[in-house]
Amino acid sequence: MLFEKNDTVLFIGDSISDYERAKPVGEGLFNAWGHSYVACAGALLGCMYPELGLRVVNMGIGGNQVRDLKARWQTDVMDRKPDWVSVLIGINDVWRQFDSPQMPETHVPPEEFEETYEKLILTTLPHVKGMILMAPYYMEPNRQDAMRARMDEYGAIVRKLAEKHGLTFVDLQTGWDKLFRYMHSTNIAWDRVHPNQTGCMYIAKQFLAAVGADRC
């Protein structure tokens, strides 16, 4: 288990993390974590490791790309002084290339995605115990699909950065591929991006496995 007593674990990303979390800071009473995988992971950690007293903070914002994370990284991550930072970003960086093809200014090419993401890692690592990088995904089992193939490129970038900097990597795309051997992707997300509660719990379980949370 990576986390230690009284650690603060901060999650940051896009709408997949957001899911109506409290603003400006997603922690505290009255479902402040929202109802994303962050809420699932936070609740499970609290039940599985009550003696650790972990502080879980959700700083996801819907629609964000890696550019948006860069713009708010100081206030939403560094100023909060977390012990661990978990990042799930890249879905909108790819999605805009397909749902808004006539608006290239909204597209984040692979080179910019990698460069910006790595700068965030280098800024953060001297001040935290570690980072967990989660692969962006598209719930399309057909790897020849154009958006799925493009998303795989960005997932590979996140994997490369995790390996380069010795960080924990969560391969969400491979997780979905395994699940969809038994059900259609629309059973989890009508738009193949935003999971229902089963899907949110599935992401949380992959996160918990990656950080070594092994209690019932």
Mean pLDDT of the chain: 97
Checking if the pLDDT of 216 tops 70, the result is: no
Q: Confidence band (pLDDT; 50, 70, 90) for 215?
A: confident
> What is the reported pTM?
0.95
Q: Convert the pLDDT of each residue in 134-180 to its tens digit.
A: 999 999 999 999 999 999 999 999 999 999 999 999 999 999 999 99
- Say which amino acid occupies 172: L
Checking if the pLDDT of 24 tops 80, the result is: yes
DSSP per residue, 23-89: SS-B-STTTTTTTSHHHHHHHHHHHH-GGG--EEEE---TT--HHHHHHHHHHHTGGG--SEEEEE-
| Whole-number percent of the chain with pLDDT over 70 | 100
**Mean pLDDT value of segment 179-188:** 94
| Whole-number percent of the chain with pLDDT over 90 | 99
Q: Convert the pLDDT of each residue in 94-115 to its tens digit.
A: 999 999 999 999 999 999 999 9
Cα–Cα–Cα angle for 60, 22, 208, rounded to 5 degrees: 50
Q: Convert the pLDDT of each residue in 71-88 to its tens digit.
A: 999 999 999 999 999 999
pLDDT (0 to 100) of residue 43: 97
- Known catalytic residues are 15, 191, 194
What CATH number should be reported for the domain whose range is 8-210? Answer: 3.40.50.1110
